[in-house]
A = this chain, B = another copy of it.
Amino acid sequence: MLKISTRCRYGLLAMVELGQCYGQAPVSAQEIYKKQRVPKFYLQQLLVKLRRNGLVESIRGTRGGFVLKKDPKTIKILDIVKAVEGPVQLISCTKQSRDKCCSKIKECLTRPVWVELHEVVNRVLSERTLHDLMR
């Protein structure tokens, strides 16, 4: 069904929230999950992943929280998705990884559609930035 996971959705919600406060004081996880109504501990996990991937910075202690590490204009949606759930790979026989998925990749007649889909999804996600989503 190709459903967008909650990881992605929550991750992007959090990033948008941080984007709104870019340049201002850090935003705590609590503020985010109260505002966006996402599960507390789950969100914490996602924020850690975003930090480990260099998208946000964390500040501990009272008045701490998270801040974007870069300008929203330079953060692709794809970066966020990759951070919370790894590469967007619709098939395993892309240019990057040439694993076989069908029995014989050379003559695979179905491959072109999946490749096109793979590319179009990655293109959309890397053309849009976090800034595009903010008002």
- By beta carbon, the residue of chain B nearest A17 is B109
B residues in contact with A116, CB < 8 Å:
124, 128
B residues in contact with A134, CB < 8 Å:
109
B residues in contact with A48, CB < 8 Å:
none
CB pair A114 B4 closer than 8 Å: yes
Q: Which of these, B86, B102, B121, contacts A120 with CB under 8 Å?
A: B121
| Distance between A8 CB and nearest chain B CB, rounded to angstroms | 8
Q: Which of these, B1, B77, B113, contacts A88 with CB under 8 Å?
A: B1
Q: How many angstroms from the CA of A89 to the CA of B3 in the assembled complex?
A: 6
Which chain A residues numbered 44 to 100 have a C-beta less than 8 Å away from chain B? 77, 85-91
Q: How many copies does the complex hold?
A: 2
Q: Is A24 an interface residue (CB 8 A)?
A: no
Q: A16-B109, A86-B1, A110-B16 are in contact. Are A125 and B117 (CB under 8 A)?
A: yes
B residues in contact with A9, CB < 8 Å:
91, 101-102, 110, 114
Q: Is A29 an interface residue (CB 8 A)?
A: no
B residues in contact with A16, CB < 8 Å:
109-110
| Distance between A2 CB and nearest chain B CB, rounded to angstroms | 6
Q: How many angstroms from the CA of A116 to the CA of B133 in the assembled complex?
A: 12
Q: Which of A2, A77, A114 has the most CB of B within 10 A?
A: A2
